[in-house]
Amino acid sequence: MLAKAGFAIGGADIRVESTVPLGSGLSSSAALEIALLRAFRDAFMLPIEDVQMALLAKQAENDFVGAPVGVMDQMACTLASDGEALFLDTLDSARSLHVAVTVFATPTEQLGEVRALAGGVATQPQADGDLGERMHDACARLFRDGAGHVVLIGSDLPTLPPSHLSDAFEALEAGADVVLGPAEDGGYYLVGLSRPTPVVFAGISWGTARVLRETWAAAADAGLRVHEVAGWHDVDTPDDLARVAVGREPARRTRQWLAHAASAGRDDR
C-alpha cells in the first residue's frame, strides 16, 4: 500500500510496539494497520501526515480486509483532535440527508487537509470579515452555484439529530424565508434561507446572547417569514463536552476521542 501511494520502502524486519488503544472502539485489524503504518513511517522517515496515514489505512481496510466503511471512522480516537472528531460527527449528520454538502473552512492553506479529513466533500475557503459577512458570502456562493435552499450549521454539533436539518429544509420548501435553530446561549446553531438575505447577517452582535433576538428583529423588519426548528446545543465549553460524553445521541468519534483522552489522563496519574 505504501509503494502504491508513492513511498518506496525496502525489505526490513520490524518489531512493532504500539500505543494504539484497543479499548476505545478500535478494531484489532484497524489497530494493526495503523501500528504498522506508524512503524514504517518512523523507521523509514516517510513524510506522511496523520490525515494521509488515515486515508492509507482506510484504503488498506477496504482493499484487503473488506470493511465497507474503513478505518477512518475507527481511527478518530487516535488520529483526530477534539475539533476533528466534532467536525466529522457533525458532517455525518449533514450527509445523512443525502443533500449536497459543502464545507467552508479557514484558514485557506488548510483546505487540502480539511478536504481529506472530510473524505472528499466539496470544500471552499471562508471569506474575510466577521461571522455575518462570512455566512452571507457562503450562502451567496451556494445560491450562485444553483442551490434552491441553503442551511448553514457550525462544525461543533456532534449530537445534532438529522431530523432538525430535514425540518429546516421542509420549512423552506413550505414557504419560509428564514429558518432559525435556537441555541441555549441566545444565538442559533442553524440558519436556513430560501434566497440570499444579507439583512439577517448585518448589524448583529455576534458572540452575545442577543444574536437570535436581533436576527429575528432584522428579519421581521424586512417582512420576512421566519420559522424556528427545535433548539439544540453546540460544544463551546468542557461542560458541553461532558454532556456529549454521557448523552445518548450519536457522536461516536467524539465519544471515542473523549474515552481515549480520559484513559490517557488516568495513565498519566
- Give burial (CB, 10 Å; 0-12/13-18/19+) of 30: buried
| 32: confidence class by pLDDT, cuts 50, 70, 90 | low
**Claim to verify: residue 87 and residue 120 sit in the same structural domain:** yes
**Claim to verify: residue 140 and residue 115 sit in the same structural domain:** yes
Query: 28: part of which helix (H) or strand (E)?
Result: helix 28-44
Per-residue pLDDT averaged across 39-65, rounded? 62
**Claim to verify: residue 91 and residue 224 sit in the same structural domain:** yes
Model pLDDT, residue 65: 43
CATH of the domain at 58: 3.30.230.10
Amino acid making up residue 256: Q
Residue 142 above 70 pLDDT?
Answer: yes
In a domain, 128, yes or no: yes
**Claim to verify: residue 219 and residue 101 sit in the same structural domain:** yes
**Claim to verify: residue 12 and residue 136 sit in the same structural domain:** no
Quote helix, strand, coil % in the chain, to nearest 5. Answer: 50, 10, 40
HSE at residue 167, side-chain half, CA atoms within 13 A, is: 15
Bridge-partner residues for 151, per DSSP?
A: 192
Bridge-partner residues for 153, per DSSP?
A: 190
- Per DSSP, the three-state class of 251 is coil
**Claim to verify: residue 162 and residue 54 sit in the same structural domain:** no
**Claim to verify: residue 200 and residue 101 sit in the same structural domain:** yes
The alpha carbon dihedral of 72, 77, 80, 86 has a sign of positive
102-105 and 150-153 strand pairing: unpaired
- DSSP string for residues in 37-104: HHHHHHHHT----HHHHHHHHHHHIIIII--SS-HHHHTHHHH--HHHHHHHHHHHHHHTTTS--EEE
Residue 30 above 60 pLDDT?
Answer: no
The pLDDT mean for the chain works out to: 79
Residue 179 above 90 pLDDT?
Answer: yes
**Claim to verify: residue 115 and residue 212 sit in the same structural domain:** yes
- DSSP H helical ranges for 69-227: 71-74, 76-79, 82-95, 111-117, 131-144, 162-173, 211-221
In a domain, 199, yes or no: yes
| 171: confidence class by pLDDT, cuts 50, 70, 90 | very high
In a domain, 235, yes or no: no
| Tally of structural domains, the chain | 2
Model pLDDT, residue 269: 54
Residue with cell 504498522: 36
Domain boundary (79, 100, 132) is at 79
CATH of the domain at 90: 3.90.550.10
Contact 239, 192 (CB under 8 A): no
Amino acid making up residue 216: W
**Claim to verify: residue 208 and residue 97 sit in the same structural domain:** yes
**Claim to verify: residue 222 and residue 97 sit in the same structural domain:** yes
**Claim to verify: residue 116 and residue 24 sit in the same structural domain:** no
Domain boundary (54, 79, 104) is at 79
Per-residue pLDDT averaged across 140-144, rounded? 97
Give residue 57's domain range: 1-79
**Claim to verify: residue 93 and residue 182 sit in the same structural domain:** yes
Contact 56, 48 (CB under 8 A): yes
Residue 164 above 90 pLDDT?
Answer: yes
Per-residue pLDDT averaged across 74-94, rounded? 69
